[in-house]
Amino acid sequence: MADITVRRQNGNSPTALARDPNPFRVMRDWLRWDPFQDMAPNWPALDAQGTSFIPAFEVKETKDRYLFKADVPGIKEEDLNVTVTGNRLQISGKREEEKEERNDTYYACERSYGTFTRSFTLPEGADFEHVHADLKTGVLTVAVPKKVQAQSKKISVQTSEKTGKI
C-alpha cells in the first residue's frame, strides 16, 4: 500500500502514515485537528511576561474636532500618557498585574496586563495646542479640535439667472 500523507494546518510538518498499526495514535491525531484554526483571528504577539494588553479604540471626526475614545478599565490616570509630536498623537499606558497569592485557587485567568502604545497621524488643520484628554469610568477620551480655517463651510449655490452674474 502507498503512504498517506496528512498535512496539518497548525504548522507541524507532514506526517506519513503507512497503515499505522496503532489506531489510537491515528485517532489522537484526528482529535487534535482543529478545522476552525484558519478562521481564528491573529492574536498579537505577547510581551516578555507572556501577557498583552490592547485597549479597544474608537476614532471619529466631527465637524469641529477629532475624537479618540479608548476602553482602559483598571488603568490609573498617572499610568496614561498622551503626547503630541508634529502631527502625531501618541497614547500609551500600562495596566499592572495584581499580586498573586500562592494559596489562592484560580479557576479562570482571562484578564490581560501590560503596556500599550498607539499612534495616530492627523491631517493638517488639527489644533494640537488645545488637545484635551479626560479619563472617566474606564474610558479615555482625547479631543483634538480643528483649526477654524480647517473646518468646512457650506457655500450656497445660486443660479446665474437670479444673480445676473457670470
DSSP string, 58-122: EEEE-SSEEEEEEE-TT--GGGEEEEEETTEEEEEEEEPPPPPPTT---S------EEEEEEEE-
Residue of 102 and 112 predicted with greater confidence: 112
Cα separation, 53 vs 75, in Å, equals 11
Residue with cell 491525531: 29
pLDDT band at 111 (very low <50, low <70, confident <90, very high): confident
CATH 2.60.40.790 fits 57-97+109-149, yes or no: yes
Over residues 33-55, mean pLDDT: 60
Mapping DSSP to helix (H, G, I), strand (E, B) and coil, where does residue 83 land? strand
Domain range summary for the chain, segments of one domain joined by +:
4-39, 57-97+109-149
Of 39-53, 70-84, 107-121, which has the strongest mean pLDDT?
Answer: 70-84
Over residues 28-44, mean pLDDT: 63
pLDDT at 1: 44
